[in-house]
Amino acid sequence: MNLYGGRGYVPPDTPVAAGGTDLVAVVHSFGSGYDSTTGALLANLNDASCTTNATSDSVSDPRVLFDTASGRWFISTTTFAPIGDASWNLLFSSGSDPITAAWYCLIIPTSDIQNPDGSTGNFPDFPKIGINADKVVLTGDAYSPVGPFLGNYKFQGTEFAVINKSELINVSPN
C-alpha cells in the first residue's frame, strides 16, 4: 500500500488498524481506507480539519484503533505548532465502515494547561490512545517551549485525558 503517495513525511508515522473487512492507515494528518481482503484502496480520508486551524497547524503522531465493542474507528493525533493551538485531536466514526460513516472531531486544547514549573501551555508528544468498555484515554509526554529559540522544549511530565466513551459515541450532529 502506498498511503497518499508517501506525501514526503519523515518519519512517516504509519499506524494501521483492522476492523470488519477494512483497514485504516494514517500518516500524520492523512488517512486511507483499504479492503482487508484485496488490499484495494477504498478511499482517502483527510483528518486535517480536526485542528484549531487546519491551514497552519502542524499535526503529527497519529494512532488508529478499531473498537470492536462499539463498532467505531478512533484516530488520535496531536497538534504541536503553533503552541497556541497545541492539542490532542480525536476523530471518531459514526459506524464501522470508515468510508461511508460520518466522522466527528473532538479537540482537547493543551495550550492553556498550567505546567508543574509554573509555565503555561504544552503539547502532548508521543501520544497514545486506549479504549475499554466505557472510556477512551489519551496520554502523552507534555513538552513546553522554553527560551527565545524555537525548538527548545522542556519535559513537564505525562498528561492524560479520560473521556466517557458512551457520551462520545452517542453525539448527534447539530
pLDDT for 19-56, tens place per residue? 878 888 887 667 778 788 887 878 777 554 677 777 77
Q: Cα 160–68–66 angle (5° rounding)?
A: 55
pLDDT higher than threshold 80 for residue 101: yes
How much of the chain is in helix, strand and coil states, percent to nearest 5? 5, 50, 40
Q: Which three cell numbers stand for residue 75?
A: 484516530
- How far CA 162 is from CA of 69, 103, 149, 159, in Å, comes to 18, 20, 33, 10
Q: What's the rounded mean pLDDT across residues 147-174?
A: 83
pLDDT higher than threshold 60 for residue 71: yes
Tallying the residues shown for the chain, one arrives at 174
CA-CA distance, 168 to 171, in Å (whole number)? 6
